[in-house]
């Protein structure tokens, strides 16, 4: 099983630390550079290592060869980080970009998560609530 498959399965099961370890141990050689880095940033966000995730994401967003789906994932993770840090307007902008990019890519799964988070962010009692755990 490749590093991507192992990390994805662990991520889907909510075992984020193990997924991150699997990705780092196996080196992700079966993944292209950008796909591996997107997954790496997603996992770092999931375990609360926001500054490390943000560094990776800021580099990825600048890459022209990044697919719309990968760019959508980057925007989703940036939106989640900004929401957690209390930068609400910027978080909403990232989530909206994520939805648009996922729509452009025709990727329903990638479109669903940011839409759900936008729905939660606009709910009347969202100020004290935290977002539910998701797997991007």
Instruction: Please report, in tens digits, the pLDDT of each residue of the chain (136 residues total).
Output: 777 788 889 988 999 999 999 988 865 455 568 888 999 999 999 999 999 999 999 999 999 999 999 999 999 999 999 999 999 999 999 999 999 999 999 999 999 999 999 998 887 765 555 555 555 5
Task: Tell me which residue has tokens 């797997």.
Answer: 135
**C-alpha closest to that of 82 among 128, 131, 21:** 131
Where are the domains positioned within the chain?
1-64, 67-130
CB 72 within 8 A of CB 108: no
User: pTM of the entire structure?
Assistant: 0.84
Cβ neighbours around 9 below 10 Å, total: 14
61: region left, alpha or beta (phi > 0 left; psi from -120 to 50 alpha): alpha
């Amino acid at each position: 099983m490749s590093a991507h498959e192992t990390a994805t399965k662990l991520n889907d099961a909510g075992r984020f630390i193990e997924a991150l370890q699997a990705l780092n141990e196996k080196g992700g050689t079966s993944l292209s550079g950008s796909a591996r880095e997107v997954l790496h940033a997603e996992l770092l966000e999931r375990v609360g290592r926001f500054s490390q995730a943000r560094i990776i994401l800021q580099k990825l967003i600048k890459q022209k060869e990044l697919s719309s789906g990968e760019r959508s994932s980057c925007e989703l993770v940036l939106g989640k980080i900004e929401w957690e840090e209390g930068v609400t307007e910027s978080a909403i902008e990232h989530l909206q970009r994520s939805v648009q990019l996922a729509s452009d890519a025709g990727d329903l799964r990638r479109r669903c998560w940011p839409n759900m988070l936008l729905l939660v962010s606009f709910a009347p009692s969202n100020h004290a609530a935290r977002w539910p755990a998701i797997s991007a």
